[in-house]
Amino acid sequence: MIHRARGPRGINGPVEKAKDWKGTIKRIWSYMEKQKASLMASIIFVILSTLLGLLGPYMIGVIIDEYILPKDITGTVRFLALLTVVYLTAALFTWLQTFMMVRVSLQTVRTLRQDLFDKFQTLSLSFFDRRTHGDLMSRITNDIENLNSALSQSVIQIFSSVLMVSGVAIAMFSLNWVLAIATLLVIPLMIFSTKKVITYSGHYFIKRQRDLGELNGFIEESISGSEVTTLFGKEEKINQQFSIVSERLRHSALAADTVSGFLGPINNFINNVGLGFVIAIGAIMTVHGQATVGIIAAFVTYSRQFFRPISQLSNLFNMFQSAIAGAERVFEVMDETPDVLDKKDAIAVDSFAGHVEFSHVHFSYEKEKDVLKDIHFQIQPGEKIALVGPTGSGKTTIINLLMRFYDVTAGEIKVDGRGIRDYQINGLRKRVGTVLQDTFLFSGTVMENIRYGRLEATDEEVIAAAKMASAHQYIKHLPQGYQTPLTSGGANLSQGQRQLLAIARAILADSDILILDEATSSIDTKTEIEIQKGINQLMKGRTSFVIAHRLKTIENADRILVIHQGEIIESGTHQELLQRKGFYFSMYESQFHFRGKPSSLSR
């Protein structure tokens, strides 16, 4: 994949409020309902534990009125043993409901994370250009983990709390409707306070998740660029920037947690006020013979059972808000439409002859700012074409368009007489082999990294490709040869060694069209001469595009296209272009004759 010369990169601005709570919850449920058996089991355990929990306070009232006040010790002990069994059984069902719900949540987030990762593989490069890697990593890790916590701890508790509140209300009205009404008097106050706190804290949770994603993006970029940071002595500057981003997250997290933190104390206060009402009214009714001590004791227990779930619901909303914020960010990515898509009738391709045509192609990353202007040329099968020009002239963009990393703004690109949009994207890219200047190697063995070019290749074919790329000699001397494990990015190899592996990988792919994007830039001159033979052998019979900053390496190209400010300003062989004494001649002269020192002609 080509990583340079893309469009501008940026970070999305802060989100002030949730976009679609109902829609997000509905989409989360679409993942959960796939596990109906586990959900039903968990719900059954919730119902059983709730019923047993409701039975407990009633039994306490019976014990007081029928056994403790009459001083029946034997009956009291027997009834207490039964009450112990009830509470132990309720605890068992509570554990089972939690266990089943954890299974549901883990499977749900596993499927969601897999879907998000699969979506990443389908999105166009322009999507990744607009976002930092750390922010995207935060969505697939932190945001989904927040959802996991909410599902495993909140969903079943919300159902349990609602069921408990309903059951307690029925039980209280069946015992004494006056005390029941006294208990319910504070409910509107709790609802009002909960709504107010949630309203104020909602957008802070969204902001916190956004700031967390930005912090992760900064950390990822800082670690990836640590070598450059050290080289230029910018450690203090990086620390200052990190402090600013981290402080921004601290402020948004503090605001979210502070505002939402008021909910618990407020509702606890209201809870205690309600309990005081119940006790006061109950005491008056007991004095007048309208209630018993057992009923009052049962009501005190019921009132705590009644207000505790309501308080839990309030606190669970804090966690749920964070989860919804994360889920929205996940679904935001999953709702992205790739800029580059297969047509419905796109055809599969097994091979190309290699005839390539750019027909009056225009392209821009941003509107009204063309990167390529009226690019028009044809390449015959087997031709070797070199693209040269200053930095930012559009050379790599031409390759990006051929690979359909982006689609042209105007004009058309054809391969073998058909527009490339007529071909299936995967088939097109499989038939185009690429070697980049910035080589990326995966964690795994040397053998596995070369085989990435063609997964079904045998070990013998991998070794043959390495020999053609002149990589075999140094691979033999690695600690475990071809089975030597590589760290992420191949950091335990030199840049030149990584480049040789990339060339071997392209050789193994055996593509019909070959792209060499400054493929030998990181290799010393002696090694370059050796592998140039292998590259020349590889290019035989294949249409080849070569982007090079060392003009000496493309002197034998069939044709050289000179790109400047998005236009082809010169075209011809090396000798023809020198004889014209135009832009190419100036570049060649500056590289090989300016003060006797070669200069680097970058892209």
Domains belonging to the chain, first-starting first, are 21-334 (1.20.1560.10), 345-431+554-603 (3.40.50.300)
The pLDDT-based confidence of 522 (bands split at 50, 70, 90) is low
Q: pLDDT at position 562, please?
A: 92
Percent of the chain with pLDDT over 70: 89
When comparing pLDDT for 5 and 443, which is higher?
443
Where do we find the tokens 């391709």?
Answer: 349
The pLDDT-based confidence of 594 (bands split at 50, 70, 90) is very low
Sheet holding 432-435, edge to edge: 432-435, 513-517, 543-547, 384-388, 559-564, 567-572
Q: pLDDT at position 10, please?
A: 33
When comparing pLDDT for 135 and 569, which is higher?
569
- Report, as an integer, the average pLDDT of 557-580: 91
Residue 374's SS3 state is: strand
DSSP string, 257-291: HHHHHTHHHHHHHHHHHHHHHHHHHHHHHHHTTSS
Percent of the chain with pLDDT over 90: 12
When comparing pLDDT for 34 and 519, which is higher?
34
Single-letter amino acid code for the residue at 233: G
Average pLDDT, the chain: 80
- Please return the burial class of 45, using the count of CB atoms within 10 Å of its CB with bins 0-12, 13-18 and 19+: buried
Take residue 405 and report the two structure tokens written for it: 């990393």
Please say if the pLDDT value at position 15 is more than 50. Answer: no
The pLDDT-based confidence of 19 (bands split at 50, 70, 90) is low
- Report, as an integer, the average pLDDT of 251-275: 78
- Report, as an integer, the average pLDDT of 522-544: 70
- CA-CA distance, 100 to 102, in Å (whole number)? 5
Q: pLDDT at position 88, please?
A: 93
Residue 485's SS3 state is: strand
- CA-CA distance, 370 to 5, in Å (whole number)? 13
The pLDDT-based confidence of 561 (bands split at 50, 70, 90) is very high
* Helix ranges restricted to H, 123-176: 125-129, 133-138, 144-150, 156-175
Q: pLDDT at position 168, please?
A: 80
The pLDDT-based confidence of 593 (bands split at 50, 70, 90) is low
When comparing pLDDT for 520 and 430, which is higher?
430
- Which residues make beta-bridge pairs with 379? 356
Q: pLDDT at position 595, please?
A: 41
Q: pLDDT at position 521, please?
A: 60
Burial per residue of 527-554, b for 16 or more beta-carbon CB atoms within 10 angstroms, e otherwise: bbeebeebbeebbeebbbbbbbbbbebb
Neighbours of 356 (CB within 10 A): 23
Residue 571's SS3 state is: strand
- CA-CA distance, 4 to 11, in Å (whole number)? 18
- Give pTM, 2 decimals: 0.66
Rg (CA), the chain: 35
pLDDT digits (tens, 9 = 90+) for 73-95: 888 888 889 989 998 998 999 89
When comparing pLDDT for 365 and 317, which is higher?
365
- CA-CA distance, 77 to 84, in Å (whole number)? 10
Please say if the pLDDT value at position 267 is more than 80. Answer: no
Please say if the pLDDT value at position 414 is more than 90. Answer: yes
pLDDT digits (tens, 9 = 90+) for 169-200: 888 888 788 888 877 777 777 777 777 777 77
- Report, as an integer, the average pLDDT of 64-70: 81
- CA-CA distance, 385 to 545, in Å (whole number)? 5
Please say if the pLDDT value at position 277 is more than 90. Answer: no
- CA-CA distance, 348 to 429, in Å (whole number)? 11
Q: pLDDT at position 227, please?
A: 64
* Cβ-based neighbours of 93, under 8 Å, separated by 6 or more: 45, 46, 48, 49, 52
Going by their DSSP bridges, the two strands 410-415 and 418-419 should be labelled as: antiparallel
Q: pLDDT at position 372, please?
A: 92
- Please return the burial class of 310, using the count of CB atoms within 10 Å of its CB with bins 0-12, 13-18 and 19+: buried
Q: What are phi and psi of 516, to 5 degrees?
A: -115, 105
- Report, as an integer, the average pLDDT of 137-159: 81
pLDDT digits (tens, 9 = 90+) for 504-519: 888 888 888 988 887 6
Q: pLDDT at position 7, please?
A: 36
Taking alpha carbons only, the member of 267, 124, 137 closest to residue 195 is: 267
Please say if the pLDDT value at position 598 is more than 50. Answer: no
